[in-house]
Amino acid sequence: MARYIIKRILVAFPVLIAVSLILFVLLNVVPGDPVTVMMREHIKPELIEVFRERMGLNDPILVQFGRYMVNALRGDFGMSYKLQRDVSAMIREAFPHTIKLAIYAALVAWIIGIPAGILSAVKQNTLVDRAFMSFSLMGVSLPVFWAGLLMQYLFAFKLGWLPVTGYYSPRYYILPAIVLGWQSAGTIARLTRSNLLEVMKNDYIRTARAKGLGETVVVVGHALKNAMLPVVTMMAMQVAGLLGGAVMTESIFGIPGLGRITVDAMGTRDMPLLQGSVLFITAIIIIGNMVADLLYAFLDPRIRVE
């Protein structure tokens, strides 16, 4: 197991480096000189070169990248052009909000998605099944920003049940978590359902029934664990995916998380900030996927080491 973990981590590293490189190149071929971005029109033309030199922008891109990576490994993602702040400090400040949102959303997704998936699998082709599946398809089909808007309007503004924006207590997270979670709930419900149906076709389910087990025991005791293996992996991956989804949700619900930083950075061409935050999110996702793999390995005795 230890070997597997190490191997998995070793594979993750080049991916992360490649991700960084691609990101770095992409963002550095963007037209627009960072110095002008920083200074807008206020810089004297003769000073631009001085700044470029000082910022190391005249070095070959790979040298710049190398320097960036070395610093990044030390936890230094540079300075935001726009906000003149330490990018890592900004990320550190924003990340807790995002992860909180992602976790709440994941909880929503699981609490809704898994039972819905089980129920509609058990009641396959009934009204219940169709209702649940339509509901989860809605979740998958709904534009997050639009759903967020409508919910904000309805539950926060019209009905006044929940705060409009903010992040000061769990109450504030209810709406964004539902908006964000609904989407993954849909995916999870569908995956749970199809896996469960698939597993229910297996011979060992027939064996369990032939043993005289009740239908509940068969489903919950025998089918579910097998069906949940991929779902669990999916869930771990989704916590990561939710980080990406948070981009929209945070903007709408005024949560000062990573998503908002990223969108703002993009709007202001703030390369170091954008790079830092996207890289960070990606790293989290890679770690999430890794955890998903390990979780799978841990849960499935066929892979688990004796």
Partner 1 sequence: MNNTLNHDGAKVLAAAENVVKEFKLSGNIRRGQMVVHAVTDVSLNIYEGETLAMVGESGCGKSTMGRLILRLLEPTAGTVRFEGRDLAELGEEELRHLRKKMQIIFQDPYASLNPRMTVAQIIAEPLNTHQIYGSQKETEARVKELMKKVGIRPEFTNRYPHQFSGGQRQRIGIARALALNPKLIVCDEPVSALDVSIQAQILNLLHDLQKEMGLTYLFISHDLSVVRYISDRICVMFLGKICEVGPTEEIFRAPKHPYTRFLLEAVPKPNPHLRKEQKAFLTGEMPSPVKPPAGCRFHTRCPLAVQRCSQEVPVLRNIEGRQVACHLVTA
Partner 2 sequence: MMTNLAAGRAADRIMDMAADTAAEAQEMLAITDLKTHFFTQKGVVPAVDGVSIRIPEKQVMGIVGESGCGKSVTAMSILQLVSRPGRIVGGSIMLDGEELVGKSVKEMRNIRGNKVSVIFQEPMTSLNPVYTVGRQVSEAITVHRQVGKQEARQQVVEMFKAVGIPEAERRFNSFPHQLSGGLRQRVMIAMAMVCQPKLMIADEPTTALDVTIEAQILHLMRRLEEKSNTSIMLITHNMGVVAEICDFVYVMYAGKVMEQAPVFELFDHTKHPYTKGLLNSIPKPTEEKQRLYNIKGMVPNLLRLPKGCRFSPRCEYAMPECREREPELYDCGKNHKVRCFLYQKDQGGGADE
Partner 3 sequence: MQNSDILILNDQNLPPDLGLPPAEDIDAELLDNETMGDRIKTMLRKNKLAAASFVVIVLMCLAAAFAPFLTPYEPNKTSLKDRLAPPSREHILGCDELGRDHFTRLLYGTRVSVMIGLFPTSVAMIIGTVLGLFAGFYGGKIDFVIMRLADVVLAFPSLLLAMVVSYTLKGGIISIFLALAAVKWARTARVIRAQTLSMKEKEFVEAARSLGVKKSTIMFRHILPNCLPNLIVLLTLNIPESILDEASLSFLGIGAQPPSTSWGLMVFRCKPFLFEYPWLAIAPGVAILVFVLAFNFLGDGVRDALDPYLKD
> Residue numbers of the site for partner 2 (CB under 8 A)?
202-204, 206-215, 217, 222, 225-226, 229, 299-302, 306
Give least dist CB 214 to partner 2, A. Answer: 6
Binding partner at 66 among partner 1, partner 2, partner 3, none, C-beta below 5 to 8 Å by kind: none
* Closest CB to partner 3 among residues 21, 213: 21
In degrees to the nearest 10, what's the CA dihedral of 109, 111, 114, 119?
A: -130
* Closest CB to partner 1 among residues 3, 158: 3
Number of Cβ atoms within 10 Å of the Cβ of 155: 17
Q: Residue 19, interface with partner 3 (CB under 8 A)?
A: yes
Residue 101 · residue 255 · CB < 8 Å: yes
Give buried/exposed letters for 199-235 (b at 16+ CB in 10 A, else e): bbeeeebeebeeeeeeeeebbeebbbebbbbbbbbbb
Q: Residue 3, interface with partner 1 (CB under 8 A)?
A: yes
Residue 78 · residue 230 · CB < 8 Å: no
* Closest CB to partner 1 among residues 51, 298: 298
Q: Which of residues 153-192 bind partner 3 (CB under 8 A)?
A: 153, 157
Residue 120 · residue 133 · CB < 8 Å: yes
Binding partner at 297 among partner 3, partner 1, partner 2, none, C-beta below 5 to 8 Å by kind: partner 1
Binding partner at 119 among partner 3, partner 1, partner 2, none, C-beta below 5 to 8 Å by kind: none
Q: Phi then psi for 57, rounded to 5 degrees?
A: -80, -10
Q: Which of residues 222-261 bind partner 3 (CB under 8 A)?
A: 240-241, 243-245, 247-248, 251
Residues 29-68 as x/- pattern, contact with partner 3 by CB under 8 A = xxx-------------------------------------
CA distances from 292 to 146, 184, 231, 241 (A): 30, 16, 10, 12
Binding partner at 243 among partner 1, partner 2, partner 3, none, C-beta below 5 to 8 Å by kind: partner 3
* Closest CB to partner 1 among residues 14, 32: 14
Strand partners, 86: 79
Q: Residue 10, interface with partner 1 (CB under 8 A)?
A: no
Q: Which residues contact 135 (CB under 8 A, 6 or more apart)?
A: 116, 186, 189
Q: Residues 75-78: contacts with CB within 8 Å, 24+ apart?
A: 77/272, 77/275, 77/276, 77/279, 77/280, 78/272, 78/276
| Interface residues toward partner 3, by CB under 8 A | 14-16, 18-19, 22-23, 26-27, 29-31, 133-134, 137-138, 140-146, 149-150, 153, 157, 240-241, 243-245, 247-248, 251, 262-263, 266-267, 274, 278, 281-282, 285-286, 289
